[in-house]
Amino acid sequence: MPITEYLVNNAKNYKDEVALVEINPDIQEKNRQTWREYSLVEPNTLNAGRRELTWGDFDKKANRFANLLLSRGIKKGDRVAILLMNGLEWLPIYFGILKAGALAVPLNYRYTADEIKYCLKLSDSDVLVFGPEFTGRVEEISHRIPDVKYTFYVGEDCPTFAESYDRLVTYCSSKAPDVALSDDDEAAVYFSSGTTGFPKAILHAHRSLVHAAKTEQAHHSQGRDDVFLCIPPLYHTGAKMHWFGSLVAGSKAVLLKGTKPKWIIDTASKEHCTIVWLLVPWAQDILDAIDSGEIDLSEYELSQWRLMHIGAQPVPPSLIKRWLNIFPHHQYDTNYGLSESIGPGCVHLGVENVHKVGAIGKAGYGWEVKIVDEHGATVPRGEVGELAVKGPGVMLCYYKDEKATNDVLADGWLFTGDMAQEDEDGFIFLVDRKKDVIISGGENLYPVQIEDFLRKHDAIKDVAVIGLPDARLGEIAAAVIEVKEGMTLTEDDINDFCYDMPRYKRPRKIIFADVPRNPTGKIEKPKLREIYCGESLVASQNEIKKK
């Protein structure tokens, strides 16, 4: 059955129960400040910056948008792009697209105007739905996207080059459209995160979405009483596919517009959240805020919080050990996945395997995995190779890119580009991205291993290891280190700390700077290479000239 049937069933069975809550702490704080400035008694601010949506209204809103699309001649197989920040409108629009038989095309909210134009063209999008945060960028390209037939604006003060979504859907029927859908129908186009190059368009069928929902519910056992706190952007498969567990269970989810530690803890407390999915930087920030006294846990009700899980990137074991020391009653889990495998879950640690923190786990629900050499042969246990996965969530293809598709798909197997190894118990550990491996003097260096070692230092907030050109060794490992606020570090401090690391693995260059991460928490290594590799290449070439 298509993913839309879950929504239909929830609207039927839990019509008046809350499906989604939107929390905007920035509005809440401004509201409090206003009352204080006028020396008035502060009211209950829970409802300021808080909106909610029932399952019944969720389904009606999806139907209204589906019927709007159909009334404009959008047909089965057409593409509708979404450029919105997280909010109550996002998911009803997404499901309205699917109910119309069209393909949803979520766009990264960090895209520049030219990147938006590129992705609209690559995906053959017929419609663009955007919010007020993107008015300037969309206006800049509005005359350069002739294939986009309709541009709908979500919010107040609709610009002249777009039509008002809010006004138009008011006049559309809330009855379900008569569009037949099957598991084999194409459902969505997602874009790769671009950590290894410009984004590719990833095509998925309804079967992928349904399997993602079943996988998430199987891994985390969402029930009717669970409340999922969703913080990452919904354009990303990770956030949405974790929310799919709530969709299957018919349980409430909270969309938090912000990542400050106090906002996360406060929302988990007030909304009685039971499951929270974090990215590594957010978990680190929460722990630092607790350690510094900025957050006093005794002021919050968190006894209902049963599961904290992390994904989207390698997770330092030291971070989870630190977390469980403060929250010993929490279950912990991590899921591995990529947009090409419809997000998280193709490899899964499992809450029962906390003793294996650091591993990404074993094959997830309905998935197969293997680790192979450069010829595609399975490597012996313990050796490093490329991780490959197979299951119902594998993409159909990279849209309009046959070569790229053939490079990663073979006999149903998706070759992930991630280097991994399997331990004696069958648990898989990520070593690094295939393209991030540093070859220094003939030795393979895996940045994640060096990063995990350095993160054990109490003064290091974040670290990224990249390869820099070197005249003698080909490449050297450089560590870009972000120091915790209020602390200091020197190059000698780092070198002394790395003394217990094998000599060939020690970073040969130390750079103290911020570590850039994208909205899904992944380190933006191409950006770091762009900044530092150019300088290093010039130095390397000068060294060669001297010789």
User: Given this model, what pLDDT does residue 123 score?
Assistant: 96
pLDDT at 430: 83
Q: Of 126-140, 238-252, 351-365, 421-435, which range is least confident? A: 421-435
Q: Give me the pLDDT at residue 541, please.
A: 37
Q: What percent of the chain shows pLDDT beyond 90?
A: 70
Q: What value does the mean pLDDT take over residues 481-503?
A: 91
Output the pLDDT for position 60: 98
Residue 279 phi, psi (nearest 5): -100, 160
Choose between 420 and 32: higher pLDDT. Answer: 420
State the Cα–Cα distance between residues 245 and 461, nearest whole angstrom: 32
Q: Which has the higher per-residue pLDDT, 542 or 383?
A: 383
pLDDT at 44: 52
Q: What percent of the chain has pLDDT over 70?
A: 91
Structure tokens at 508: 């040969």
Tokens 């049937």, residue located? 5
Q: How far apart are the first and last CA of the chain?
A: 67
Q: What is the pLDDT of residue 452?
A: 85
Q: Model pTM?
A: 0.82
Write down the pLDDT at residue 417.
87
φ and ψ at 420, to 5 degrees?
-150, 170
Please report which confidence band the pLDDT of residue 503 belongs to, taking 50, 70 and 90 as the band edges. Answer: confident
Quote the pLDDT of residue 37: 56
d(CA 414, CA 340): 8
pLDDT score at 32: 62
**Helix (H), strand (E) at residue 52:** strand 50-54
The whole-number pLDDT of residue 195 equals: 43
Question: Which residue segments constitute the domains of the chain, with CATH numbers given?
Answer: 4-258 (3.40.50.12780), 362-433 (2.30.38.10), 438-546 (3.30.300.30)
Name the helix (H) or strand (E) containing 519.
Answer: none
Q: Residue 175: helix, strand or coil by DSSP?
A: coil
pLDDT band at 535, cuts 50/70/90? Answer: low
* pLDDT confidence tier of residue 426, bands split at 50, 70 and 90: very high
Amino acid making up residue 486: G
Q: How confident is the model at residue 262 (pLDDT cuts 50, 70, 90)?
A: very high
Q: What is the CA radius of gyration of the chain?
A: 24
Give 467-490 pLDDT, tens digit per residue: 998 766 778 999 999 999 899 999
> 306-322, pLDDT tens digit by residue?
999 987 666 778 889 99
Distance CA 507, CA 449 (A): 11
CA 132 to each of CA 22, 79, 104, 116, 154: distance values in angstroms, whole numbers, following the listed order = 17, 21, 20, 15, 7
Cα–Cα distance, 454 to 464 (Å, whole number): 9
Average pLDDT over residues 353-380: 93
> Could you give the residue ranges of the DSSP H alpha helices within 112-205?
113-122, 135-141, 165-170
pLDDT at 520: 64
pLDDT in tens, 49-75: 899 999 999 999 999 999 999 999 999
Three-state SS at 172: coil
Instruction: Please count the other Cβ atoms lying within 10 Å of the Cβ belonging to residue 328.
Output: 7
Q: At 224, is the pLDDT very low, low, confident or very high (cuts 50, 70, 90)? A: very high
Q: Is 481 exposed, middle or buried (0-12, 13-18, 19+ CB in 10 A)?
A: buried
Q: Using CA atoms, how far apart are residues 191 and 108, in angstroms rounded to an integer?
A: 8
In which band, very low, low, confident or very high, does the pLDDT at 103 lie, cut at 50, 70 and 90? very high
**pLDDT level of residue 28 (50, 70, 90 thresholds):** confident
In this prediction, residue 33 carries a pLDDT of 62
State both tokens at 283: 């978990």
Give me the pLDDT at residue 314, please: 66
**Residue 419: count of CB within 10 angstroms of its CB:** 22
Across the range 176-204, mean pLDDT stands at: 86
**Contact 18/57 with Cβ under 8 angstroms?**
no
- pLDDT score at 100: 98
Across the chain, mean pLDDT equals 89
Phi and psi dihedrals of 357, rounded to 5?
-55, 135
What is the side-by-side strand order in the sheet with 252-256? 50-54, 18-23, 252-256, 227-230, 275-278, 307-311, 331-338, 343-348, 362-363
**pLDDT(546) > 70:** no
Confidence of residue 258 (pLDDT cuts 50, 70, 90): very high
> Tell me, what's the pLDDT at 210?
96
Instruction: Check residue 510 and give its pLDDT.
Output: 95
